[in-house]
């Protein structure tokens, strides 16, 4: 990150009325999968899932 980027971030933070207590980086795995067995009762769908490196599901979205 260059000096200009740091100054811009500081400017945004100075104008922000909310407070930021801390920032941490978490490794996230994105998985796109099909769920269902292909039968008429359960034809299947595509899901997008985001998991943390310690096994916690962060987000799950049905794509189709």
Higher pLDDT, 42 or 48: 48
The two three-digit tokens of residue 54, written as one number: 């310690």
pLDDT digits (tens, 9 = 90+) for 21-43: 676 677 889 988 887 777 888 77
Please, which residues bridge with residue 46 across strands? 34
20 has pLDDT over 70 = no
Beta-sheet strand order (sheet of 57-62):
28-35, 45-52, 57-62
Q: What is the pTM of this model?
A: 0.49
Q: Closest Cα to residue 26, out of 54, 1, 47?
A: 54
58 has pLDDT over 80 = yes
pLDDT at position 63 is: 83
pLDDT at position 45 is: 83
Q: Which residue has the tokens 């987000």?
A: 59
The torsion angles phi and psi of 25, rounded to 5 degrees, stand at -95, 135
- Residue 53 carries which DSSP code? T
């Amino acid at each position: 990150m260059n000096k200009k980027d740091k100054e811009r971030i500081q400017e945004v933070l100075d104008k922000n009325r909310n407070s930021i207590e801390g920032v941490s980086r978490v490794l996230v795995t994105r998985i796109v999968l099909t769920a269902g067995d292909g039968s008429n009762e359960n034809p299947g769908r595509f899901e997008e899932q985001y998991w943390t490196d310690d096994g916690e599901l962060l987000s799950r979205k049905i794509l189709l």
